[in-house]
Amino acid sequence: MIRSRYAINIEGANVELLFTLSIFEIARRRGIVIASEMKNVAARMDFFNKLIYLAAINAWEYRAFDDPGLGEFPYKLIDIAEWAGNHPLEYARIIKGASAAIAGKELSDVDGAQDAEAAAEAAVQKKK
Q: What is the pLDDT of residue 105?
A: 64
CA neighbor of 36 nearest in space, from 80, 89, 81, 102:
102
CA angle at residue 128 from 89 to 14, to 5 degrees?
40
CA angle at residue 27 from 22 to 82, to 5 degrees?
105
Q: What is the pLDDT of residue 98?
A: 86
- pLDDT (tens, 9 = 90+) of the chain, 128 residues, equals 568 899 999 989 999 999 999 999 999 999 998 876 777 888 888 889 999 999 999 999 999 999 989 999 999 999 999 999 999 999 999 998 888 888 776 655 555 455 555 555 555 555 55
Beta strand ranges found along 1-128 (DSSP E): 5-10, 13-18
Q: Which domain holds residue 53?
A: 5-127
Q: What is the pLDDT of residue 119?
A: 53
Number of helices (H) and strands (E) in the chain: give both, helices first: 5, 2
- How many whole angstroms separate alpha carbon 116 and alpha carbon 12? 26
- How many whole angstroms separate alpha carbon 19 and alpha carbon 26? 12
Q: What is the pLDDT of residue 40?
A: 83
Q: How many domains does the chain have?
A: 1
